[in-house]
């Protein structure tokens, strides 16, 4: 089969490798139909990010068809059309029951987060609960709907997670930091939860326009103290909630700066900083929450129905489409900000 390989910083290649096989009784083999590139994939592509050369791709979002199932699998069968989340929650531990399957107690750390999805086939481990069945087959859906379904593997649940852990309430004033696909989906989530004002912090016109189409009420291009002052001017004070969708120390500082005392941060950007003392928030009474998104929980409870009913259209974040053979161009265009999110045609 074909799979994308991280060759080195700035270079993704496609190689022929052996098709995966079942290794455990709760494995499934999935024939990938659509995959994509995530903003988090760009850390290794652009900087190396301590990733070993000539190693598995970090892709972790897909739609596919179940091809083979292990003996313990009772929830899906060959031929089922599924959303393939980046997480592998068990569904019955305390964390999963509380709605935090992105950090499952039984599958801790990296055992709960998938990779290698930018390929023709995938072995998905701990599969009995985490996969999300979609009615019918891919051919039953428009390409626009396929795009929205693909966002349910990561970016839409991740944006939703930011709003959920920040406890966004009806009437809240919300600031979204990060104008990539997750930030765009955080705007959608804040609107779903009834926010009265949603400010997108963005310097890029196409991303500003997308956010406004999705429910943002204003955009702020400035950063640092100037950006914080502009947000506070628009809101007439600080924000109730800040949704941090980048993963840098400066974006956390921006989130802390736009909040009124007693405000709430939902952070879902994969952190690329080591130290940010929690004690620094003591004098502000800030509530901080965040981590890996509860993809399966949100899809099954809220988001799949919202997409199928046409209530939300997160698929608009896919601005460019590529064949798997052109995966390096997909990465490069996202790194150059020519594409907001790149979809990969696999089959």
Residue pLDDT, tens place only, 98-133: 999 999 999 998 899 999 999 999 999 999 999 999
Task: Give the span between the Cα atoms of 340 and 347, in whole angstroms.
Answer: 22
Mean pLDDT of 153-172: 98
pLDDT of 4 strictly over 80 = yes
Q: Mind giving me the DSSP string for 278-302?
A: GGGGGGGT-EEEE-S--HHHHIIII
- Does residue 347 have a pLDDT over 80? no
| Beta carbons within 10 angstroms of residue 283's beta carbon | 8
Percent of the chain topping pLDDT 90 = 94
Q: What pLDDT sits at residue 245?
A: 98
- Does pTM surpass 0.85? yes
pLDDT in tens, 13-51: 999 999 999 999 999 999 999 999 999 999 999 988 889
292-to-25, 196, 215, 276 alpha-carbon distances in Å = 26, 26, 24, 18
Give bridge partners of residue 243 from the DSSP assignment.
Answer: 176, 266
* pLDDT at residue number 279: 84
Rg (CA), the chain: 19
Q: Count how many residues are written for the chain.
A: 347
Question: Where do the domains of the chain lie, and which CATH numbers do they carry?
Answer: 2-154+294-345 (3.90.180.10), 156-290 (3.40.50.720)
d(CA 221, CA 13): 35
Spell 38-76 as b/e; 16+ CB within 10 A means b: bbbbbbbbeeeeeeeeeebbbbbbbbbbbebbbeebeeb
How much helix, strand and coil, in percent to the nearest 5, is found in the chain? 35, 25, 40
* pLDDT tens string 252-311: 999 999 999 999 999 999 998 888 778 888 899 999 999 999 999 999 999 999 999 999
Q: Where are the alpha helices (DSSP H) in 116-223?
A: 127-130, 143-151, 155-165, 181-192, 205-214
Which among 238, 307, 249 has a CA at the least distance from the CA of 274? 249
> pLDDT at position 49, please?
82
Partners of 290 in the β-ladder:
267
Q: What is the pLDDT of residue 21?
A: 98
pLDDT (0 to 100) of residue 273: 86
């Amino acid at each position: 089969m074909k799979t994308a390989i991280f060759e080195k910083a700035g270079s993704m290649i496609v190689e022929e490798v052996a098709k995966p096989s079942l290794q455990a009784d709760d494995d499934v083999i999935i024939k990938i139909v659509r995959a994509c590139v995530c903003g988090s994939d760009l850390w290794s592509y652009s900087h190396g990010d301590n990733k070993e050369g000539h190693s598995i791709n970090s892709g972790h979002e897909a739609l596919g068809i179940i091809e083979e199932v292990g003996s313990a699998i009772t929830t899906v069968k060959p031929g089922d059309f599924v959303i393939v989340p980046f997480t592998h929650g068990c569904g019955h531990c305390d964390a999963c029951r509380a709605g935090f399957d992105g950090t499952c107690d039984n599958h801790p750390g990296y055992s709960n987060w998938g990779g290698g999805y930018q390929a023709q086939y995938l072995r998905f481990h701990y599969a009995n609960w985490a996969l999300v069945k979609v009615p019918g087959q891919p051919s039953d859906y428009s390409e626009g709907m396929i795009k929205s379904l693909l966002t349910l593997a990561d970016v839409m649940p991740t944006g939703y997670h930011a709003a959920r852990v920040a406890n966004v309430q009806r009437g809240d004033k919300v600031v979204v930091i990060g104008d990539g696909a997750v930030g765009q989906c955080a705007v959608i989530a804040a609107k779903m939860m009834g926010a009265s004002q949603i400010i997108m912090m963005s310097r890029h016109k196409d991303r500003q326009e997308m956010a406004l189409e999705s429910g943002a009420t204003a955009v702020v291009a400035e950063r640092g103290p100037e950006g914080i002052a502009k947000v506070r001017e628009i809101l007439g004070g600080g924000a109730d909630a800040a949704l941090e969708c980048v993963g840098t120390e400066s974006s956390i500082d921006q989130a802390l700066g736009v909040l009124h005392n007693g405000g709430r941060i939902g952070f879902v950007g994969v952190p690329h900083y080591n130290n940010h003392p929690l004690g620094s928030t003591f004098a502000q009474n800030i509530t901080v929450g965040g981590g890996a998104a509860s993809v399966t929980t949100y899809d099954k409870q809220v988001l799949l129905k919202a997409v199928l009913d046409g209530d939300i259209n997160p698929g608009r974040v896919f601005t460019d489409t590529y064949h798997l053979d052109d995966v390096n161009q997909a990465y490069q265009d996202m790194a150059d900000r020519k594409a907001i999110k790149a979809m990969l045609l696999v089959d």
